[in-house]
């Protein structure tokens, strides 16, 4: 039996955030209400989708602004979660190929097809709110994933699943205190002005107040365009200016291979390195370098929470899993949790997903 069906209360409108989407981050913060901070922060959700399985045959969908390896793994996670409900007949994926108008058209098309629950990654921010709100008005349970479009929760959409930048900052600072103790730190972000980088930096900077022996070399985000080659060039410049920096924090760990390359080129011992959203390339590099390393991960699994929330909303049910999620600590070499390296998978494959290596290969078109 499903949980008793009743409408979830509308959340209170608070400050807007726009958060990282695993290497494809929004650079624009919304200016009105959004999902962020509306339900506080909590640990990763562990709900049971069978509580929300529809009574009737139902189509669900994952609508993405652009396609990449991360998106394919997230789609596979959503499909795996949906497979636990016999009444879910289709899991549809749409890829807007980086085109805003196509993203709007894709969503309208899903509603026209009778899709009842949609996990959406609104990478074009507020521009997608009218179509998201229209889907909500049509009775579709639509839940933004990781990218925060702004709008008003409870009106434009019922709920969202976002990353918690303050919790991330606290974890990074605590780990660096234990690992480095005293030394210099740099924070590496993405494109100039990226709101997600600013939010993660502010969360980290606030957390550093507890650890005065850790000193930032720059009181602002250091832009790297989330690109490994650019990170190598930027970090090489930082090393030339400051000498060896003891630790670096990154809001997109996959491209931190460039950080280690910069230290090697300078003939310096690698730093303590921490961040979020790692990939296969990091583990393969770590096997050769063995530097102190910690990441917050499992972001592809957030799609499972979003699907459960979308199904609940479509049926007028409550779902009390967190909207602002603390990313789990997936790698911590100081605690003996080392990164994985699977050479037969792509360098950008997220090995912290809930999928087995065989499922990952299938999701990425490999056998």
Q: Which of 36, 24, 14 is nearest to 163 (CA)?
A: 36
- Report yes or no on 362 lying in a domain: no
- Report yes or no on 74 lying in a domain: no
| 252: number of Cβ within 10 Å | 30
Q: 290 burial class (0-12, 13-18, 19+ CB within 10 angstroms)?
A: exposed
> Which residue stretches of the chain are H helix?
69-82, 100-112, 129-137, 165-179, 195-208, 228-242, 257-265, 280-289, 302-314, 357-363
- Report yes or no on 289 lying in a domain: yes
Counting every residue written for the chain, the total comes to 367
Q: How far apart are CA 359 and CA 216, in angstroms?
A: 41
- Report yes or no on 120 lying in a domain: no
Number of domains in the chain: 1
The whole-number pLDDT of residue 196 equals 83
pLDDT in tens, 240-268: 999 999 999 999 999 999 999 999 999 99
- Report yes or no on 330 lying in a domain: no
Q: CB of 245 within 8 A of CB of 185?
A: yes
The whole-number pLDDT of residue 256 equals 97
Q: CB of 303 within 8 A of CB of 71?
A: no
- Report yes or no on 275 lying in a domain: yes
> What is the extent of the structural domain holding 180?
165-296
pLDDT in tens, 265-301: 999 999 999 999 999 999 999 999 999 999 999 999 9
Question: Is residue 274 within a helix (H) or strand (E), and if so which, with residue range?
Answer: strand 272-276
CA angle 330, 79, 129 (to 5 degrees): 90
Q: 14 burial class (0-12, 13-18, 19+ CB within 10 angstroms)?
A: middle
The whole-number pLDDT of residue 223 equals 96
pLDDT in tens, 294-315: 999 999 999 999 999 999 999 9
Confidence of residue 5 (pLDDT cuts 50, 70, 90): very low
- CATH number, domain of 229, equals 3.40.50.2300
Q: 264 burial class (0-12, 13-18, 19+ CB within 10 angstroms)?
A: middle
């Amino acid at each position: 039996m499903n949980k008793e069906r009743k409408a979830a209360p509308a959340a209170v409108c608070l400050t807007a955030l726009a958060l990282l989407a695993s290497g494809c981050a929004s650079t624009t913060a919304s200016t009105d209400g959004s999902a962020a901070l509306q339900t506080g922060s909590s640990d990763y959700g562990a709900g049971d989708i069978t509580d929300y399985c529809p009574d009737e045959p139902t189509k669900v969908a994952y609508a993405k602004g652009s396609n990449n390896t991360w998106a394919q793994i997230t789609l596979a996670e959503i499909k795996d979660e949906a497979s636990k409900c016999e009444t879910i007949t289709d899991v549809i994926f749409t890829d807007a190929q980086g085109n805003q108008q196509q993203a709007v058209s894709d969503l309208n098309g899903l509603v026209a097809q009778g899709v009842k629950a949609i996990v959406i990654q609104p990478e074009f921010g507020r521009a997608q709110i009218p179509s998201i709100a229209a889907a909500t008005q049509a009775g579709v349970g639509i839940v933004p994933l990781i990218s925060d479009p702004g709008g008003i929760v409870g009106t434009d959409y019922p709920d969202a699943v976002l990353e918690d930048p303050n919790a991330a900052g606290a974890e990074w600072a605590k780990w660096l205190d234990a690992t480095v103790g005293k030394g210099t730190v740099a924070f590496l972000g993405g494109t100039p002005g990226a709101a997600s980088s600013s939010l993660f930096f502010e969360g980290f900077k606030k957390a550093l107040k507890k650890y005065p022996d850790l000193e930032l070399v720059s009181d602002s985000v250091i832009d790297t365009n989330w690109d490994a080659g650019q990170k190598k060039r930027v970090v090489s410049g930082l090393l030339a200016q400051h000498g060896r920096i003891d630790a670096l924090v990154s809001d997109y760990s996959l491209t931190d291979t460039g950080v280690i390359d910069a230290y090697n080129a300078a003939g310096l011992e690698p730093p303590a390195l921490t961040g979020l959203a790692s990939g296969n390339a990091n583990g393969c590099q770590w096997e050769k370098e063995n530097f102190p390393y910690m990441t917050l991960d499992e972001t592809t699994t957030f799609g499972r929470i979003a699907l459960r929330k979308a199904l609940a909303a479509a049926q007028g049910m409550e779902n009390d899993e967190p909207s602002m999620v603390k990313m789990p600590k997936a790698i911590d070499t100081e605690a003996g949790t080392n990164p994985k390296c699977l050479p037969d998978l792509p360098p950008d494959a997220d090995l912290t997903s809930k999928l087995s290596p065989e499922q990952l290969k299938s999701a990425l078109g490999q056998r």
